[in-house]
Amino acid sequence: MIRADRIFGVVMVILALGYILSAMSIQTSFLSDPVGPRVFPYMVAGVVLICSLVMILRPDPEVDWPVGGMLLQMALALAVLFGYAMLIRPLGFVIPTVIAAGILSWQINPRPVPAALAGLGLGIGLFVLFKFILGLGLQGLPRALMG
Amino acid sequence: MDTLANLAMGFGIALTPYTLMLAVIGCFVGTIIGALPGLGPSNGVALLIPISFSMGLTAIPALVLLTSVYYGAMYGGRISSILLNIPGDEPAMMTTLDGYPMAKQGFASDALVISGFASFVGAFLATVGLMFLSPMLAQVAFKFGPAEYFALYMLAFCTLGGIGSNNQAKAALAAAIGLGISMIGLDKTTGMPRFTFGEMHLMDGVDFLVAIVGLFAVAEVFHFIETHGKDSAIGVKLGKITVNWAKLWSTRYAMLRGSGIGFVAGILPGAGASLGSFLAYMTEKSSAKDKSTFGKGNPNGVAAPEAGNNAAAGGALIPMLTLGVPGSGTTAVLLALLLTLNITPGPLLFTERPEVVWSLIASLLIANIMLLVMNVPLVKVFVKILSVPSWVLLPGVTMIAFVGIYSLTGSSFDMMLMVAFGVMGWLFRKLDIPTVPVILGILLGNAMEDNMRRAMVLSNGDWTYLFSSPIAIGLWIAAVVGFVAPMFLRGVLKKPPQPSTDGGTTD
């Protein structure tokens, strides 16, 4: 029986080995201290290796993983957040926020009208709060429109 | 009296109208954050650090604002514990045990009043303790060299991992992952890049605020969508808030005992408020004559854990301020705040920037009194706010997280990194890997390595130097005990089950 702990452990072993490999190529200058910049990363990777092996050998009981529709929902949320991170600079704060907040709201409570209202309210309300009350330097609308 | 003179100076700074206003706002926002399920002191403060920093607040106002939020969140956590049977934050878990049964029996107002006063007693006594103990500990901390600091960091990781998690290997793994992430960026001593893979954005390293907001706040979004967070509904009736003095007075010893236990638990690295409230409750239960009333609405069972967790919140500030080593997730976030403000905690803080320390202590005392007023007579305001539906709240929190990081760094790369940390936080939660050690690792990694390397410079590469002083040896022993002992105590430290809701909330 393969458990998530085992898979995670194997992934971490690979990452730790990659980390050690990357640490080996760190350049040291001739004026270095007795330890140098590589030893501590080696120690850290060593701890990761030991713990990952423990996880592979003695995994905890399996938990329920999201499947089917729920997995899609979570993928959608992830896509929304990544898209938001990319679009907030070119498109300004308000439009991406209305869309992203609306979609997240709909995911929690699948009624379109309240979700749309929540998105609109949050997009505009938070902009007013941050820009005018707290004085943060936010760009409200797409740069192209602002000239 | 040095302490009193210092305190007077602190009040001199903290009692200006501007800082008082910030304290009021901080207490108010903090109580809301604490009361809302899913938002606790650590993610609340984490969300607000980038925002207060982008607002251009200077050190003392920012510190006053955010420590008020911290204390406020500790007060607020009890509100949803009592009314919804959902702990507003993790330390408030124990308050549900007797608080919710009390509310169901129609004593919601009593439970809120008693827990509000208990929070005040705990937090107040702990702040006084902080006032007297931290200068003393700062004196001891002057004796610490790099070897001792290295051992101290080990102690923090070991006890945090040992006490705060169910699986030692996973806790150690989390700490190592955090330390590994902190290595990314330019090496301070040699100026050489490490693990940047030619990516310019990584030259400065991973901003710990990005990691904290991602792991604490964005991860909550995924968790919420997955569990399909139900709209919380207040299932118990809350009448007029009246103070039942007799009942309140009857819990005085529970409050005092809880404060003492919580304070000590808070000072210990790695223990923090959750353990404080847990131990306070268990002590109260085992020392009571009639144990069977606990879990069925015993007022002492509300007073003790609330005093305990608020006292622990104050106690936890001591190692954070004097040694620069946080003992819990929230103090780790507060350490992040200090580092963002360019304040290095440690013994030197007390001699070089006493105005920071003492104005902080003064504002904690002020915040406490404000919180007592807000949380007893005005508690109904917060109860109203609890009825904000989650489909507005959660997108709002997410957007605030983004705005904070965006206005701090202005880069899409950091926001995507934050989302990645969010996914990591969700995955770790699924796998039962604690995320607090990751944060602590990212925060302390460079200092830990630095101390190790300085120790080696002093000893010319002799590793036994790390164990050469009595203080260092003591810390190493404590670290090993703190990591190993909880394996055997796990059976004893089992948490009692939460009271069943039986139709009280409409799911």
- Determine the average pLDDT of the residues in B377-403: 84
**All residues at 6 or more sequence positions from A113 whose CB lies less than 8 Å from its CB, including other chains:** none
Task: Give the per-residue pLDDT at A31.
Answer: 64
Say yes or no for a CB contact (<8 Å) between A41 and B226: no
- What ipTM was assigned to the predicted interfaces of this complex? 0.92
Is there a single domain that holds both residue A43 and residue A81? no
Specify whether the CB–CB gap between B475 and B151 falls below 8 A.
yes
Neighbours of A124 (CB within 10 A): 15
What residues have CB less than 8 Å from A111, skipping those under 6 apart?
none
Domain that holds residue B83: 2-146+208-411
Residue-number span of the structural domain to which A125 is assigned: 68-146
List chain B residues with CB under 8 Å of A33. Answer: 189, 453-454, 456-457
Question: Could you read off the pLDDT of B329-353 as tens digits, one per residue?
Answer: 788 888 888 888 888 888 888 888 8
Tell me what pLDDT residue B94 has: 84
pLDDT at B141: 84
d(CA B12, CA B7): 8
> Which residues in chain B have Cβ-Cβ distances shorter than 8 Å to A40?
179, 183, 448-449, 452-453
- pLDDT tens-place string over residues B72-90: 888 888 888 888 777 766 7
Buried b (16+ CB within 10 A) or exposed e, B198-233: eeebbeebbbbbbbbbbbbbbbbbbbbbbeebeebe
Give the residue-averaged pLDDT of B61-65.
Answer: 89
User: Residue B52's closest chain A neighbor by CA?
Assistant: A134
Element at B455 (helix H, strand E): helix B436-459
Asked if residue A63 is part of any domain, the answer here is: no
Q: What pairs with residue B194 in β-bridges?
A: B185
Q: Do residue A131 and residue A82 come from a single domain?
A: yes
The chain-wide mean pLDDT, for chain A, equals: 86
Orientation angle between helical segments B412-430 and B219-227, nearest 10 degrees: 50
Structural domain count of chain A: 2
- B495's CB contacts (< 8 A; 6+ apart) are B93, B278
- Confidence (pLDDT) at B507: 31
Based on the domain organization, do A47 and A18 belong to the same domain?
yes
Instruction: Tally the domains of chain B.
Output: 1
Query: What's the pTM?
Result: 0.87
Q: Are residue A47 and residue A87 in the same domain, yes or no?
A: no
**Can you tell me the mean pLDDT for B58-80?**
87
Does the structure show a pLDDT above 90 at B70? no
Q: Could you tell me if A28 and A96 lie in one domain?
A: no
Least confident of B118-132, B245-259, B263-277: B263-277
What is the mean predicted confidence (pLDDT) over B63-72? Answer: 89
At residue B88, the pLDDT reads 66
**B408, pLDDT greater than 80:** yes
A98 touches chain B (CB under 8 A): no
Using alpha carbons, select from B444, B132, B110, B90 the residue that is nearest to residue B278: B90
pLDDT, greater one: B376 or A19 = A19
Same domain, A73 and A48: no
Q: Which of B369-383, B415-429, B440-454 has the lowest mean pLDDT?
A: B369-383
pLDDT value at residue A30: 65
- The tens digit of pLDDT for each residue in B104-129 reads 888 888 888 899 999 999 999 999 99
Position A60 scores a pLDDT of: 84
Given CB atoms, is A72 within the 8 Å cutoff of chain B? no
Q: Are residues A78 and A124 in the same domain?
A: yes
Residue of B nearest to A42 (CA): B180
* Structural domain contains residue B165: no
Would you say residue A147 has pLDDT above 50?
Answer: no
Residue B503 pLDDT more than 50? no
Residue A62 forms part of a structural domain: no
A79 & A133 share domain: yes
Handedness of CA B81, B84, B86, B89 (dihedral sign): negative
Provide the shortest C-alpha distance from residue A109 to chain B (in Å). Answer: 6
Question: Which one of B29, B391, B409, B424 makes the best mutation probe of the A interface by having the most chain A beta carbons within 10 Å?
Answer: B391
Poorest-pLDDT segment among B155-159, B160-164, B397-401: B160-164
Q: Which residue has the higher pLDDT, B380 or A115?
A: A115
Encode pLDDT of B297-326 as tens digits. 888 888 898 899 889 888 888 888 888 888
In a domain, B393, yes or no: yes
The string of DSSP codes covering chain A is ---HHHHHHHHHHHHHHHHHHHHHT----TT--SSTTTHHHHHHHHHHHHHHHHHHHSPPPP-PPP-HHHHHHHHHHHHHHHHHHHHHHHH-SHHHHHHHHHHHHHHHS--HHHHHHHHHHHHHHHHHIIIIIS------S-HHHH-
Beta strands in B353-497 (DSSP E): none
Under the banding of pLDDT at 50, 70 and 90, the label for residue A49 is: very high
- pLDDT tens track for A50-73: 999 999 998 888 888 888 888 888
B471 part of a folded domain:
no
pLDDT confidence of residue B397: 86
- Report yes or no on B374 lying in a domain: yes
Q: How many other CB atoms sit within 10 Å of the CB of residue B467? A: 12
Residues, chain B:
507
pLDDT band for B422, please (50, 70, 90 cuts).
Answer: very high
The verdict on residue B152 lying in a domain is no
Q: Do A32 and B189 make contact, defined as CB atoms within 8 angstroms?
A: yes
In a domain? residue A48 = yes
pLDDT value of residue A99: 93
Residues with Cβ within 8 Å of residue A29, at least 6 apart in sequence: B190, B191, B192
| Residue B113: exposure state from Cβ atoms within 10 A (0-12, 13-18, ≥19) | buried
pLDDT over 50 at A141, yes or no: yes
Residue B504 pLDDT: 38
Asked whether the beta carbons of residue A66 and residue B179 sit closer than 8 angstroms, the reply is no
Has residue A134 got a pLDDT over 70? yes
pLDDT at B105: 85
